[in-house]
Structure 1
Amino acid sequence: MELQLSQLFEDAGWMTYASLPFMAALIGWATNWLAIKMTFYPLHFQGVSPILGWQGVIPRKAEKMASVVVERTINRFGNMDDVFRKLEPEKITKHIISQIEPRIEEYIDEIMYERQAVLWDNLPYTVKRKVYQWAHNQIPRRIEGLVAEFGSELSSLIDVKELFVEELKKNPGLMVRIFQEVGGREFSFIVKSGLLFGLLFGLVQIPIWLQNSEFWMLPLFGFVVGFATNWLALNVIFRPLYPRSFFGFNVQGLFLKRQDEVSDVWSRLLAEELITVERAAHTMVFGRHADRTRAIIQKHIRPMLDQAGILKVVAQLTVGASGYVELKRALNDKAVQVSVEPFHDESFNKSRSGVVAAVMSDRMRALSPAEFQDVLRPAFQEEEFQLMLIGGVLGALTGVVQWMLMFS
């Protein structure tokens, strides 16, 4: 045996065998790097559907992830009404009034010229002023009532899961960006750890290779290194769930150890990018429950004309009952149209997003480690084995190349 080992060293040389751990480190780094890239990219399916191709795990699982996020975070609020109360509805009311009131006269002119241009052109300016003043007096009270009723009905008006899914369908890169920012440290660790884990596997490989230098050993070790480095990296991030003491050091999954920090970043990004007041308002008016939203708007706005005094009398005398009904319908349509305009204000959205983020973060911080990991991991956990397997296959191919370059 000693003679055989000596002959192997003479044939291949020390440098050849010393390169084995470094090659294993390269395989570990490359396969982990590729696994991370395949987690995020491509954003859309590339290849021949449904088998010969790939789409990033996170873009492909975005809808499922949205469901998990809603179930694990938003639904833990109790209901959307609780969120609304924390948003301080009086500030929302004040903001809407500040945005709409300066344009009341413009809105009235648009309605009248669209539906009853002749009537409006022939009305004395003093009558128009009375109409404008009537609107200025009525609108704030109507808006206050609207906001209050929306608040009490919010859970039945907004489907948070729908809001998430629709936004992610339009922008699949959004969830990728959120995950990259939230788990940047962990994903970087996965890539870098491939070097260390691969190097350790390579050191174990030397004595085994010296004992058995068959061709198939290098592809086998490449597969083991590619598969195992991915598996180890993922488990170091999420295991152990709870802090454990080893040789005087507290050890816990890297991601779980940062629960408070991750909760803050995750909540802030979701609140700023997905659960904004603007998107919530848009979902209410144009989403699945839009009919209910418009009915509430109509309930508060249409009676305004019945209290319009001289405008009501003039309208009924000049355009008749049907024309008057048309005016009421036009008023309601305009109210729906402008209902989302006040929420295009970026600074207002940002101030309210901070409130939502604080609530979400508090809830996430309070989760147990097992619950916390379930917010982010389960949606793509089923893909982990596939990613590790791809890493193993690539490692095996690298082993073949290694043999061809160094030993064949």
Structure 2
Amino acid sequence: MQHPESGFHLFDITLLSLPLMAALVGWFTNWLAIQMSFYPVQFIGVGSFGWQGVIPRKAEKMAHICIDRTLQQFGDLQSVYQQLEPQRIVEQVISQVTPRLDEYIDEVMYEIQPVLWDNLPLFLKRRVYQWAREQLPARVEELVEDFGDDLDDLVDLKALLSRELRQHPDLMNRIFQQAGAVELRSVINRGAIIGGILGAALIPLWTRYPEPWLLPVGGFAIGFITNWLAINLIFAPLQPRRILFWKIQGLFLRRQPEISDVWARLVAEELITVEKVADAMLNGARGDRTRAIIQKHLRPLLDNSAVMKLTAQVTVGMTGYTELKKVMNQKAVLATRDVFSDPAFNRERAPIVAGVLAEQMRALGPREFQDILRPAFREEEFRLMLVGGAFGALAGLAQFVSLVALNIRIPI
């Protein structure tokens, strides 16, 4: 490819630019692969043609695997519940309900018999309020104990995770980005190093075969290989291996303890909060069972006191008495939801859930830990590599076209 007007060679400048361009391609394609793993959060496209970030699309699957692995190690949801200190939950319920107990009773009675309750002497109302306050601790303690015994039947944890991740598909992105921030930056930067090395390896080929197709083909190979290496550097090798002076292991696996702590903390703060578990108990597919337990523990409030039962039946009648218990049950459900929506209580309990999850994630073997994260990428990694290769080919073509267009030459 000697220039017709001088003794200069076009490919000499290419020899210098190959490693630099390849390093840029390696860096960019790895950066692009990481971005495509996270974004877009929602599918963009028409029909089956389009893209959604790998992690948002596979978030439910990864969360389910994570819960299966950790709870399988720990036992069941009931065991986690015991770590939350049920007595502390009892105290929370009593502390939240007691100040509003008179208000709850008023709301129930005004719904059933507003005129009667308005005209009831104040000392009788106070008697009802006092009696309810005396009964509350025992009823709550038994209720919380029953919830703990039946928690695995009352809460479909996978359904809870699926619902939350459908409503907030960016949650798993934030978990990954915070848990693996160091590793993701390392993968992108290593792409430049690997790309530069591969670019240098192209120099002998370009020297021997300075053909127009070589730069695009070489660019495709560099983009494809660097993306393949980027994904595999995260998860492989499973066990530490020593190569010359370096000890290597999959980036996520090497920092399993730190990643487990961050992952568990975010899951406990964002997904498996006391408030969301309580909401799943009340409003999930098994909510009828929860309401039945609440009703079972509310019924004695009236039925176990002959005076209160007789008073209620005389004042509201037998039909009204049945309706009274129904409204009490509905009010208790609403009160339960309010109790566990207390942000301070959720923040206080979150570290306990996080500690349980983190302990079990740290105890997982390398393959089990890898299996929490790898399935999402395994199904999409070839497409990511093809995209990297395509951008590498475009970069190689642009490099060749620009060199020819500029007619850059250096003396030999």
Bucket of the pairwise TM-score, normalised by the shorter protein:
over 0.9
Which residue of structure 2 lines up, in the alignment, with residue 50 of structure 1?
48
Distance 1:359 1:24 in 2: 45
Which residue of structure 2 lines up, in the alignment, with residue 28 of structure 1?
26
Map 1:3-402 onto structure 2 (within 5 A): 10-12=8-10, 14-51=12-49, 53-402=50-399
- Structure 1 residues not aligned, in runs of 5+: none
What secondary structure sits across from 1:43 in the alignment? coil
Distance 1:398 1:4 in 2: 24
Distance 1:249 1:211 in 2: 34
Identity %: 53
- Structure 2 residues not aligned, in runs of 5+: 406-412
- Indicate conservation of the 8 Å contact 2:23/2:196, yes or no: yes
Distance 2:87 2:6 in 1: 83
What secondary structure sits across from 1:185 in the alignment? helix
Which residue of structure 1 lines up, in the alignment, with residue 408 of structure 2?
none
Distance 2:7 2:131 in 1: 99
Q: Deviations along 1:46-78, whole A, 9 cap, x unmatched?
A: 121212x11111111122122212222233321
Distance 1:4 1:333 in 2: 89
User: Over aligned residue pairs, what C-alpha RMSD do you find?
Assistant: 1.8
User: Which moved further from structure 2: 94-103 or 234-243?
Assistant: 234-243
- Indicate conservation of the 8 Å contact 2:54/2:376, yes or no: no
How far residue 311 of structure 1 moved from its aligned partner, in angstroms, is 4.0
How far residue 4 of structure 1 moved from its aligned partner, in angstroms, is 8.1
Distance 1:9 1:69 in 2: 65
Distance 1:185 1:258 in 2: 10
How far residue 44 of structure 1 moved from its aligned partner, in angstroms, is 0.7
Letter in 1 for 2:206: W
- Indicate conservation of the 8 Å contact 1:189/1:233, yes or no: no
Q: Deviations along 1:330-378, whole A, 9 cap, x unmatched?
A: 1111111111211122221122111111111111111111111111111
- Indicate conservation of the 8 Å contact 1:131/1:308, yes or no: no
Q: Deviations along 1:301-329, whole A, 9 cap, x unmatched?
A: 12212234544323322332101111111
- Indicate conservation of the 8 Å contact 1:302/1:329, yes or no: no
Distance 2:317 2:392 in 1: 82
Distance 1:27 1:8 in 2: 32
Letter in 2 for 1:87: L
What secondary structure sits across from 1:215 in the alignment? coil
- TM-score, normalised to structure 1, is 0.95
- TM-score, normalised to structure 2, is 0.94
- Indicate conservation of the 8 Å contact 1:134/1:308, yes or no: no
Distance 2:293 2:6 in 1: 85
